[in-house]
Structure 1
Amino acid sequence: MVSSHGFLLSLQALTMVSTIMTNTGVIATQGQAFCPSSSCGHLQDIRSPFRMQGDPQGCGFPEYELVCIDSKAIIHINNGRYFVTSISYSNSTFWVVDANLDNSSCPIPASNQRPYVNGLPSEGRTLLDPDTVTWAAFVSCSEMLSDVSSPFLSCCSGIYQPVNCRSTKNSFAYVFTTTFFPMVGDIKPSCRYLSMIPFGSRHVKRPDNASYDDIVKFMKNGFAVNFPYRNGRSYHLVINTCLKDANGYFNDKISNSSIVDQTLAAVFGIDLRFLRCVNDYSYRSKLFWAMVAMISTVVIVKFVIVFGILSRFVFAPLTVLTFLAYKYWKTRISIDAVEKFLQMQQALSPARYAYTDITAITGHFREKLGQGGYGSVYRGVLPGDVSVAVKMLSNSLCNGDEFISEVSTIGSIHHVNVVRLVGFCSEETKRALIYEYMPRGSLDKHIFSSEQSFSWDKLNGIALGIARGINYLHQGCEMQILHFDIKPHNILLDNSFTPKVADFGLAKLYPRDNSFVPVSAARGTIGYIAPEMISRNFGVVSCKSDVYSFGMLLLEMAGGRRNLDQHAERRSQTYYPAWVYSHLTRQEVGEICEAFDVHEVERKLCVVGLWCIQMKPHDRPTMAEVVGMLEAGADGLQIPPQPFFCGGELTGSTSYFSSELSAISENG
């Protein structure tokens, strides 16, 4: 009932407005009968809606005033000057060409003139012809583009074409064409808009991947602009057209089974549809404002009716429920607690810094902490005397792969065993990542050095912390994070030697229900990379690939040496995992029981490490199971099956098994 009555009320009101406005002369012409026609060059019989400069007041419209210079009719649209090359009163369109294109050897449109999109005029009142318009967009990029494919995801428009005559050493100009109005987010990140212009014709094929020279030819042919519907005869046509459009819209909505859609269409939809149609045909004219006044009155009456119905059946119960909900939450939540939470959330999120801030934070890169293939790391100080480590990505990584990977993976992670990203910087090719400062440096500086010493319990605690951090990446996040580069160099230690997993430059995000990832994602460091990342014959790449890398790390921590040592004293010790496995299995069967002396924690780390480096991924434990094994004692751990690389007898196996951690003392 509501929808039917609403439609009839709207339809009757709109029909009445049409009759009243026609009879009262609201849409009377602006003295057009007393305005003589004019000519300029080849343009003859120029009449309303156009006017010539100097015509009597009331002739034509000020927005369509033409200036005749050297037999060329010039019209101003926004801040642009255009030549009017032809006028079609039968089709209500006229054709214009940018006047600035003839005054340059390298013509592009001016940046301060914005053509109009059909149906969405801004300050002016001209509309582009939607059936003919094609856009040419000029952009300036800070770097030469290697990927010149279409900037749009949903259309097959042209690619970026170079504009050599506008390019310099540090700025590269390009142009592309599209049938959609180009937006700021559609272009390459290193580019910015210079200008844009429409062009097209019903009789000329639109350019597809056209060169700059071809696009200039199309621009010099111009584009079509629609007449406004302003005279008395057109107003009557506009009202009838929009009534039919609103009626069709209502019939489409009323056929929907949803009572909500029917009610909204009757109460508000039909009126808004009618006004939008009138505005499209006659932008902010007297007709439009008269319709706004009349429709507003009708909407108010309908709103009062609908509000009375809803007040009885909806608003009254909703008010009671809202009051009860408010009383409930008021007793459970403190405003101060909410504000404190929001401030904490803001502090935990990584902040964006300008490059000038980076130079100030690092004291113009005074203290260098390290150097790698990714670039250099410098020590810095944030306001409040907070020490940070600033990683400046090298130019070879300026395509953004490592930058995007690190920010996307650890930007929102907060775990005691994962390094925290404090902020970042991205200005053209200058990119930096700001981390919390780890004063003890990386793990490799401690386990491979005789100057530092850990107790076995401390070493076990470090191994357990690393395992918990990796397990959090695999299971604790909404998306599974695979690190792909677990090694001692990427484990950092704070003042209390708490380990934190760092360097997510190779990390990838995958859904947790995925059991494998593409082989193309397989990357890492030789000596720690899992076999399946080299060949699919060993299995699929998954989170078990990180387990393998962690196993190699555990063995290096237990032995205090690198797993592959070409300078080992005995040939049998060259590959440390194989040597460890051989001695553990012989001790198991009692062959070297008296000669074999190993600490309980050392044995546990070796056994867990050997489980982790099984050649087949399905034979390895998950990181959650690894955490359980490290938390438990060494007595319950079984020696794993022989890894693939351990086949055959090892020479020199009768030698005593002594820990390679000569610098590790029991009192550390």
Structure 2
Amino acid sequence: MKSSVICFKISCLDLFIVALTDKRFTVVVTITIVLVSAICFFVLRLKGKSLSSHLWKGKKNDNARIEEFITKFGSLAPNRYFYGDIKKMTNKFKDKLGEGGYGSVYKGKLPDGRLVAVKILSEFKENGEEFMNEVASISRTSHVNIVTLLGFCFERSKRALVYEFMPNGSLDGFIYNKGPHDQSRQLEWKTLYNIALGIARGLEYLHQGCNTRILHFDIKPHNILLDENFCPKISDFGLSKLCERKESIIANTGTRGTAGYIAPEVFCRNFGGVSHKSDVYSYGMMLLEMIGGRKNIDIEGSQTSETYFPSWINNHLDQPMNFNLNEVIAEEEEEITKKLVTVSLWCTQTHPMDRPSITKVLEMLQGSLQSLVLPPQPT
């Protein structure tokens, strides 16, 4: 048996040696190697094409969604700009207006001379759903107290929103009593009242005036823009949610909003369901900041009641309502203050069912002070 194996090995070795000396066999081997190499090359190339096709398909899906959106809204859809257009209208991002977690805002000018604010988004979902959500939400609106979206850019990773320009910036620049160089930018009580009224009207439009109800989920001073006449306009719909008007409770949306303004039920469903009342809570917290000229949560407060501003107000309701003025206020101004305080305390009730709708809020703001009663103190 062993001798047979040895003989087989020798025969194979002899055959290999003969093959090397046989030119015809060498040609066959060479051709075989070339064919195998060619097959491997074409297989790899096909895989590369398949991957490229997959990537292009993903890009095409994004573009298809935008085209579908433009077709759906027709002439009502905002203009679509290329990134080169954005760079041109902002003069290569020369004049920066502000910055936030979403990105930066730059001042720009359209070819017709209109000034615009261009928001360049730095954070977004890969498939662009959150970005297109904002475009779709705000494109459904047309109201004096809702900022107008003039256009957008969706070019691969480059995404931008083009809004009408608001000369007085955002509300937060006025209610904390300091401007860019620490100068006072305090507003009169009548102006604050009109701003509060305008924001409530804008919210009522979102909740009741649109065919599809829009919940904003991020009402705060930073997202309220002011035009040259201090007319307020609600902006930044990145966290908004569209829902049917008949729906009273919204399905799980995940915690969304800004700390200090988020309704309790948004992050803990034990308090109740998420609904339009969640925006009412945020509105109430914003009203408190407008009244007090300070953040709702004051980390410098020496006591717990001073740290949480709604509690501080409840503890000082029996004192003159002079929160953010150093001088004695007129009777009319004090009446405005008391009305704003009462409405804000109703809006910030812990349980959604205890809060008024935004329509009721408007009635309270425009009614007489005598018709208002103070709500129970939140637990």
- TM interval, shorter chain, is 0.7 to 0.9
Offset of 1:570 from its aligned partner? 5.7
Matched with 1:380 is: 108
- How many residue pairs were aligned? 318
**Amino acid of the structure 2 residue aligned with 1:503:** D
Aligned partners of 2:265 and 2:223: how far apart in 1?
A: 21
- Pairwise mapping of residues 297-376 of structure 1 onto structure 2 (< 5 A)? 346=75, 349-376=77-104
Q: Secondary structure at the match of 2:370?
A: coil
TM-score using structure 2 length: 0.78
1:617/1:571 Cα in 2 relative to 1: closer, same or farther (>3 Å)? Answer: closer
Match of 1:508 among 241, 247, 255: 241
1:557/1:102 Cα in 2 relative to 1: closer, same or farther (>3 Å)? Answer: closer
Check if 1:539 corresponds to 2:267: no
Match of 1:523 among 253, 256, 273: 256
1:342-393 deviation line (CA, Å, top 9, x unaligned): xxx94x6411111111111111111111111111111110012100011111
Aligned partners of 1:105 and 1:406: how far apart in 2?
A: 43
**Amino acid of the structure 1 residue aligned with 2:343:** V
Matched with 1:606 is: 341
1:607/1:364 Cα in 2 relative to 1: closer, same or farther (>3 Å)? Answer: same
Match of 1:636 among 350, 371, 374: 371
Offset of 1:632 from its aligned partner? 1.6
- Pairwise mapping of residues 179-190 of structure 1 onto structure 2 (< 5 A)? 187-190=57-60
1:295-317 deviation line (CA, Å, top 9, x unaligned): xxxxxxxxxxxxxxxxxxxxxxx
Aligned partners of 1:398 and 1:436: how far apart in 2?
A: 27
1:173/1:541 Cα in 2 relative to 1: closer, same or farther (>3 Å)? Answer: same
Matched with 1:195 is: none
Aligned partners of 2:250 and 2:212: how far apart in 1?
A: 13
Offset of 1:635 from its aligned partner? 2.2
Matched with 1:326 is: none
Offset of 1:560 from its aligned partner? 0.9
Check if 1:467 corresponds to 2:346: no
Aligned partners of 1:366 and 1:190: how far apart in 2?
A: 32
Match of 2:220 among 487, 510, 513: 487
Q: Secondary structure at the match of 2:97?
A: strand
Check if 1:578 corresponds to 2:311: yes
- Greater Rg by CA: 1
1:106/1:398 Cα in 2 relative to 1: closer, same or farther (>3 Å)? Answer: closer
- 8 Å CA contact 2:124–2:131 kept in 1: the answer is no
Check if 1:434 corresponds to 2:162: yes
Matched with 2:286 is: 553
Q: Secondary structure at the match of 1:496?
A: coil
Offset of 1:574 from its aligned partner? 1.7
Matched with 1:286 is: none
Q: Secondary structure at the match of 2:58?
A: coil
- 8 Å CA contact 2:124–2:130 kept in 1: the answer is no
- Pairwise mapping of residues 138-157 of structure 1 onto structure 2 (< 5 A)? none
Aligned partners of 2:273 and 2:61: how far apart in 1?
A: 40
**Amino acid of the structure 2 residue aligned with 1:624:** T
Q: Secondary structure at the match of 1:520?
A: coil
1:612/1:452 Cα in 2 relative to 1: closer, same or farther (>3 Å)? Answer: same
- 8 Å CA contact 1:368–1:378 kept in 2: the answer is yes
**Amino acid of the structure 1 residue aligned with 2:58:** K
- 8 Å CA contact 2:207–2:215 kept in 1: the answer is yes
1:571/1:520 Cα in 2 relative to 1: closer, same or farther (>3 Å)? Answer: closer
Q: Secondary structure at the match of 2:337?
A: helix
Matched with 1:496 is: 229
Check if 1:106 corresponds to 2:44: yes
- 8 Å CA contact 1:101–1:107 kept in 2: the answer is no
Q: Secondary structure at the match of 2:364?
A: helix
Matched with 2:69 is: none
Offset of 1:401 from its aligned partner? 3.3
Aligned partners of 1:454 and 1:438: how far apart in 2?
A: 17
- 8 Å CA contact 1:374–1:397 kept in 2: the answer is no
**Amino acid of the structure 2 residue aligned with 1:529:** I
1:98-153 deviation line (CA, Å, top 9, x unaligned): xx989835353xxxxxxxxxxxxxxxxxxxxxxxxxxxxxxxxxxxxxxxxxxxxx
1:31-52 deviation line (CA, Å, top 9, x unaligned): xxxxxxxxxxxxxxxxxxxxxx
Matched with 1:299 is: none
Offset of 1:626 from its aligned partner? 0.5
Task: Name the Cα RMSD after superposition.
Answer: 2.8
Check if 1:409 corresponds to 2:137: yes
**Amino acid of the structure 1 residue aligned with 2:308:** Y
Aligned partners of 1:473 and 1:480: how far apart in 2?
A: 6
Aligned partners of 1:102 and 1:453: how far apart in 2?
A: 74
**Amino acid of the structure 2 residue aligned with 1:408:** A
Aligned partners of 2:90 and 2:276: how far apart in 1?
A: 36
Aligned partners of 1:565 and 1:539: how far apart in 2?
A: 27
Name whichever structure is richer in helix by fraction. 2
Offset of 1:522 from its aligned partner? 3.7
**Amino acid of the structure 1 residue aligned with 2:128:** G
Q: Secondary structure at the match of 2:256?
A: coil
Aligned partners of 2:155 and 2:222: how far apart in 1?
A: 28
Aligned partners of 2:264 and 2:255: how far apart in 1?
A: 10
Query: Any gaps of 5 or more consecutive residues in structure 2?
Result: 1-37, 63-73, 179-183, 321-328
Check if 1:619 corresponds to 2:354: yes
1:368/1:621 Cα in 2 relative to 1: closer, same or farther (>3 Å)? Answer: same
- 8 Å CA contact 2:219–2:279 kept in 1: the answer is yes
Q: Secondary structure at the match of 1:599?
A: helix
Offset of 1:394 from its aligned partner? 0.8
Aligned-residue identity in percent:
50
Aligned partners of 1:638 and 1:101: how far apart in 2?
A: 85
Offset of 1:528 from its aligned partner? 0.4
Aligned partners of 2:190 and 2:319: how far apart in 1?
A: 26
1:66-88 deviation line (CA, Å, top 9, x unaligned): xxxxxxxxxxxxxxxxxxxxxxx
**Amino acid of the structure 2 residue aligned with 1:406:** E
1:412-436 deviation line (CA, Å, top 9, x unaligned): 3110000011001111111111100
Aligned partners of 2:343 and 2:286: how far apart in 1?
A: 11
Aligned partners of 1:469 and 1:562: how far apart in 2?
A: 23
Aligned partners of 1:175 and 1:462: how far apart in 2?
A: 50
Offset of 1:402 from its aligned partner? 2.9
Offset of 1:568 from its aligned partner? 3.1
1:101/1:431 Cα in 2 relative to 1: closer, same or farther (>3 Å)? Answer: farther
Aligned partners of 1:191 and 1:106: how far apart in 2?
A: 26
1:615-662 deviation line (CA, Å, top 9, x unaligned): 110110000010111112322210001211xxxxxxxxxxxxxxxxxx
**Amino acid of the structure 2 residue aligned with 1:433:** L
Aligned partners of 1:190 and 1:349: how far apart in 2?
A: 20
1:567/1:191 Cα in 2 relative to 1: closer, same or farther (>3 Å)? Answer: same
- 8 Å CA contact 1:484–1:522 kept in 2: the answer is no
Matched with 1:390 is: 118
**Amino acid of the structure 2 residue aligned with 1:619:** D
- 8 Å CA contact 1:522–1:541 kept in 2: the answer is no
- 8 Å CA contact 1:398–1:431 kept in 2: the answer is no
Aligned partners of 1:617 and 1:395: how far apart in 2?
A: 31
**Amino acid of the structure 1 residue aligned with 2:52:** A
TM-score using structure 1 length: 0.45
Using CA pairs under 8 Å that are at least 6 residues apart, name the structure with larger relative contact order, 1 or 2.
Answer: 2
